[in-house]
């Protein structure tokens, strides 16, 4: 899959700019497997890089112009001055690249312009983080092109800053970290307090199905902001009552929640129950994966979705339908919504030899229920972002 993308991007580069690209980078999208809305609560997440991603091929120019074209959409192109990469309303995708360029901090003595071409096969709107794939492929390619030396976590923070300041999206670091630190056949376990990252092997006899409902509900941003504010309010409530420091909900145990929940405002109690429970599920899930207990790990995914539906209330009927049907589909060990919720995709852990049949069953059931297609991707965890053509 990477080879085909790279070929498409290189051919488009030569056609557009009249010479071969100097280098290329590839960065994958990601899927959140367990740990929902825990990152901004300084908690834990299990995620996976996927084989779908974005290639960015590039070469230096002698002038100050920066030109980026899209091999998948030949009429999409953006241009800006190397010393003025300001965000623009259109094309909106270019703001991720502009922001990365601005935050990389290329020294003035090296700040000539560049030509770039992107090519991506991350499905848009499926919750697989096409934005982080674009940011990290851009960052790796331009870092190599201008001979910069930045650590992966610094690149992740550059991508996050690009989203915050250029794209106007107040994301956490989950997407960028997973794209950079992904490892084939393994999940990425991230501690969002320390930003410590490790990988946990995923047994070879299972895979992931990502089922995209194609649902995008209105008011998602305001709902996300409300959930985040509720978590902050709950942490402040516990801070005044527990005998130890509480910076975020990560610092509260489920035992402590059970002792105090009856006295809490009802909404704050529900929201905090989800986050506290998710953190415990992630840590328990990582231990189960190491022990090869895939059946019990799968049940944690179902538990996670139930908490999302009842406590965090960030599911929707379409996601609930898929998870419920997955629970009754042969070969499925667990399923839950993935990402922010309110629409998007669910992820299921499935026995590899039954994955195709399970995916077809879920797609047919969804189409029969909603009269609309549900796209299903069968995925294994993949390696993270990397250069795929050597630099100068």
Is 39 a catalytic site residue?
no
Q: Which residue has the tokens 């709107």?
A: 125
Rounded CA separation 318/86 (Å): 39
Backbone dihedral angles phi then psi of residue 341, each to the nearest 5 degrees: 95, -165
Tell which phi-psi region holds residue 154, choosing left (phi > 0), alpha (psi between -120 and 50) or beta.
alpha
All residues at 6 or more sequence positions from 76 whose CB lies less than 8 Å from its CB, including other chains: 69, 70, 91, 93
Q: Would you call the peptide bond into 91 cis, given omega within 30 degrees of 0 as the criterion?
A: yes
Q: Which of 39, 70, 175, 303 is catalytic?
A: 175
Rounded CA separation 193/363 (Å): 38
Residues 43, 279 contacting (CB under 8 angstroms): yes
Name the residue among 278, 98, 301 with its Cα closest to residue 211. 301
Residues annotated as catalytic (active site), given as ranges? 175
């Amino acid at each position: 899959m990477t080879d085909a993308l790279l070929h498409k991007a290189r051919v488009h580069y030569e056609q557009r700019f009249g010479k071969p690209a100097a280098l290329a980078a590839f960065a994958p999208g990601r899927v959140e497997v367990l740990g929902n809305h825990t990152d901004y609560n300084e908690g834990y997440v299990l995620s996976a890089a996927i084989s779908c991603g974005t290639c960015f091929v590039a070469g230096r120019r002698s002038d100050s112009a920066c030109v980026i074209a899209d091999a998948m959409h030949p009429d999409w192109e953006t241009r800006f001055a190397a010393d003025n990469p300001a965000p623009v309303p259109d094309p909106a995708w270019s703001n991720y690249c502009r922001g990365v360029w601005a935050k990389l901090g290329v020294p003035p003595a090296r700040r000539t312009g560049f030509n770039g071409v992107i090519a991506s096969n991350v499905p848009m709107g499926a919750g697989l983080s096409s934005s982080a794939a674009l940011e990290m492929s851009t960052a790796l390619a331009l870092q190599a092109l201008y001979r910069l030396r930045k650590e992966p976590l610094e690149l992740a923070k550059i991508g996050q800053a690009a989203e915050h300041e250029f794209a106007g999206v107040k994301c956490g670091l989950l997407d960028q970290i997973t794209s950079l630190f992904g490892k084939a056949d393994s999940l990425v376990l991230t501690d969002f307090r320390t930003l410590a990252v490790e990988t946990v092997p995923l047994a070879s006899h299972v895979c992931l199905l990502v089922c995209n409902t194609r649902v995008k509900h209105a008011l998602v941003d305001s709902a996300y902001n409300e959930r985040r504010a509720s978590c902050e309010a709950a942490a402040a409530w516990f801070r005044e009552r527990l005998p130890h420091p509480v910076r975020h909900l990560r610092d509260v145990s489920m035992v402590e929640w059970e002792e105090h929940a009856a006295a809490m405002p009802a909404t704050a109690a529900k929201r905090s129950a989800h986050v506290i429970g998710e953190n415990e599920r992630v840590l328990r899930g990582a231990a189960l994966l190491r022990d090869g207990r895939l059946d019990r790990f799968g049940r944690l995914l179902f538990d996670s979705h139930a908490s999302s539906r009842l406590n965090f209330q960030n599911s929707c009927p379409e996601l609930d339908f898929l998870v419920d049907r997955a629970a009754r589909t042969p070969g499925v060990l667990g399923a839950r919504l993935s990402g922010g919720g309110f629409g998007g995709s669910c992820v299921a852990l499935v026995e590899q030899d039954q994955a195709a049949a399970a995916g077809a069953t879920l797609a047919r059931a969804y189409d029969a229920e909603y009269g609309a297609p549900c796209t299903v991707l069968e995925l294994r965890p993949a390696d993270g972002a990397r250069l795929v053509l050597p630099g100068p």
